[in-house]
Amino acid sequence: MLQKKDWTIYHENSKWSSHFEALNQFIQSIRKKGVKLILFINPYHAQYLESIWLTGNWELLENWKRTLVRLLSPYDDIPLWDFNDYNSYTSEEEPVVGNTKDMMKWFWEPAHYRKEFGDVMLAQMLKLKDTDSEVVEQVGVKLDSDNVESVLKKLRSKRNEYASHSQHVVKRIKSIVEENRTQ
């Protein structure tokens, strides 16, 4: 879990990694075809976000978002929506271990959300008024160079609040992270 150490945002003597360059080329190709592009950052369940924090990869996540914003800065017409947040969707309680009957409403598991949450995200991105999905609260924020630092600061604050209110979850995830480090 999040132990891979060769993740790279930047390569030496370049603006960013080959993966970011591939995204940049994709964007240019799509724009030439006149296709409207909307990019978004997937939501993770709060437990997965906590594992990112506890493995020491939070700064990497933040730098990845900053780099996406920088990559998209020349493209005024391409919004970048960030659904990676702590809210009532991403903080829903998971069923008790061993309970195979009950399922989470918004997530299959911490890194994969259900169609119903995807519908809420689409409604937000596309400004749809009528949706079959139950909208609990508005989610997502458009990231840009003007707000990325304040959004990241708010996310850190929400993370700290989640950790203080969900100490039992944090303790369990911490034990999993520590167990994986020793393997």
Q: Which of 84, 68, 101 is nearest to 154 (CA)?
A: 84
Q: Which residue has the tokens 């020491």?
A: 56
pLDDT tens column, 74-131:
999 999 999 999 999 998 887 666 666 778 888 888 888 999 999 989 988 988 765 5
More confident site: 7 or 65 = 65
Q: How many whole angstroms separate alpha carbon 75 and alpha carbon 98?
A: 48
Residue ranges making up the domain that contains 74: 18-88+127-182
Residue 3: how many CB atoms within 10 A of its CB?
10
> What 8-state DSSP symbol labels residue 82?
E
Helices 148-165 and 58-72 sit at what angle, rounded to 10 degrees? Answer: 150
Tell me which H or E stretch contains 62. helix 58-72
Q: Which token pair is 59?
A: 């700064």
107 falls within a domain: no
Q: Is the pLDDT of residue 132 over 60?
A: no
Backbone angles phi, psi at 84, to 5 degrees: -85, 95
Domain assignment present for residue 103? The answer is no
Strand partners, 143: 80
Question: Tens digits of per-residue pLDDT, 40-53?
Answer: 999 999 999 999 99
Q: Grade residue 33 by pLDDT with cuts at 50, 70 and 90.
A: very high
Which residue matches tokens 């960030």? Answer: 82
Tell me phi and psi for residue 86, to 5 degrees: -105, 120
Share of residues in the chain with pLDDT > 90 (%): 54
Total domains in the chain come to: 1
User: Does the residue 118 lie in any domain?
Assistant: no
